[in-house]
């Protein structure tokens, strides 16, 4: 069974260089520079998981898969730069359109709270930032274990105070923090496509192959009775993003132990099908660079 190791690759030097360029020069120059960075990663990074994704799951030929991996690296770099520009308030030309935002405004107005589940597709951080248009506080649950220095560095450039971070801890204090935020009618934002070793998972078909998804976000939503929306922000052109939120639904709590796994699978299915459609439409914005399909994650 595949699980993410919990670390995002890279140190702070590259971040510092690009932040300086974005502030002192412009984003077009930074875009040009990151293509050289993408070439470096294309040669020296482990391309195995992405080769499997493009060849085995999307049926690309080998040459097309290699080209797609380069485009994927470029898109990842652009999304990182876009995140810094938008969230730091650097002057930019970005435009956005919104689909389903009215659902979130209604939840905020009714003080019902909500759990917003995203994935590592498109620009999750910009999706979170755009949620500040909603008149409620957004708490981002950090499921990763990124280097602390990078987190501190990003905090220095971010200016938005409508967002807060709830770090996952071994003592489960984060569950209490989540419950308190929901009671106040605030939003919880987290991922539903990655899990750390030891986490409970549900197996379901994704892009034609069985894959593991964490059951925690969905079980938690059902336990707290909070409405759930699936959110994404996809880059559709150089300076434009499309934000989408699905219609909220309250997940039924799986109170029968005998059928709990099947009940959880039924809960997860709509999320997985929604994610699958987004990935098929935007394969070069799929940013899971580990063996997502586990031991079967080998290129034919």
297 has a pLDDT exceeding 80: no
Q: What is the reported pLDDT for 8?
A: 53
Q: What is the mean pLDDT of residues 272-282?
A: 98
Give the torsion sign (CA, 5, 6, 9, 12): negative
pLDDT in tens, 125-134: 888 778 878 8
Cα 8 to Cα 14: distance, rounded to the nearest angstrom: 13
Does the pLDDT at position 77 exceed 70?
Answer: yes
Q: Model-level pTM?
A: 0.88
pLDDT in tens, 151-195: 555 555 555 557 778 887 777 788 999 999 999 999 999 999 988
Q: List, in order of start, the domains of the chain with CATH numbers.
A: 12-296 (3.40.1130)
Helix (H, G, I), strand (E, B) or coil at 36: helix
d(CA 19, CA 82): 11
- Would you list the DSSP string of 280-293? HH-GGGB---S-TT
pLDDT band (50, 70, 90) for residue 40: very high
Separation between Cα atoms, residue 263 and residue 273, nearest integer Å: 16
Q: What separation, in Å, do the N-terminal and C-terminal C-alpha atoms of the chain show?
A: 19
Q: What angle do CA 159, 21, 19 make, to 5 degrees?
A: 35
């Amino acid at each position: 069974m595949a699980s993410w190791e919990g670390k995002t690759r890279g140190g702070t030097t590259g971040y510092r260089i690009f932040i300086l360029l974005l502030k002192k020069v412009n984003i077009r120059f930074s875009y040009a520079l990151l293509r050289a960075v993408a070439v470096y990663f294309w040669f020296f990074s482990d391309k195995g998981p992405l080769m499997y994704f493009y060849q085995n799951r999307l049926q690309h030929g080998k040459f097309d898969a290699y080209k797609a991996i380069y485009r994927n690296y470029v898109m990842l770099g652009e999304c990182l730069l876009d995140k810094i520009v938008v969230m730091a308030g650097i002057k930019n030309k970005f435009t956005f359109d919104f689909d389903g935002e009215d659902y979130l405004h209604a939840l905020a107005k009714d003080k019902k709270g909500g759990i917003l589940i995203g994935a590592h597709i498109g620009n999750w951080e910009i999706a979170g930032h755009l949620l500040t248009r909603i008149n409620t506080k957004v708490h981002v649950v950090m499921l990763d274990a990124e280097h602390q220095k990078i987190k501190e560095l990003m905090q220095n450039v971010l200016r938005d105070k409508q967002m807060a971070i709830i770090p996952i801890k071994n003592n489960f204090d984060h569950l209490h923090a989540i419950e308190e935020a929901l009671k106040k009618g605030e939003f919880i934002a987290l991922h539903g496509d990655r899990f750390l070793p030891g986490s409970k998972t549900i197996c379901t078909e994704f892009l034609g192959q069985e894959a593991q998804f964490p059951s925690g976000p969905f079980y938690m939503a059902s336990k707290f009775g909070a409405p759930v929306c699936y959110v994404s922000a996809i880059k559709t052109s150089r300076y434009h993003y499309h934000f989408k939120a699905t219609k909220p639904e309250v997940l039924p709590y799986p109170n029968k132990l005998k059928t709990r796994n099947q009940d959880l699978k039924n809960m997860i299915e709509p999320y997985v099908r929604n994610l699958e459609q987004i990935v098929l439409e935007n394969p070069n914005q799929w940013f899971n660079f580990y063996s997502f399909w586990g031991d079967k994650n080998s290129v034919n």
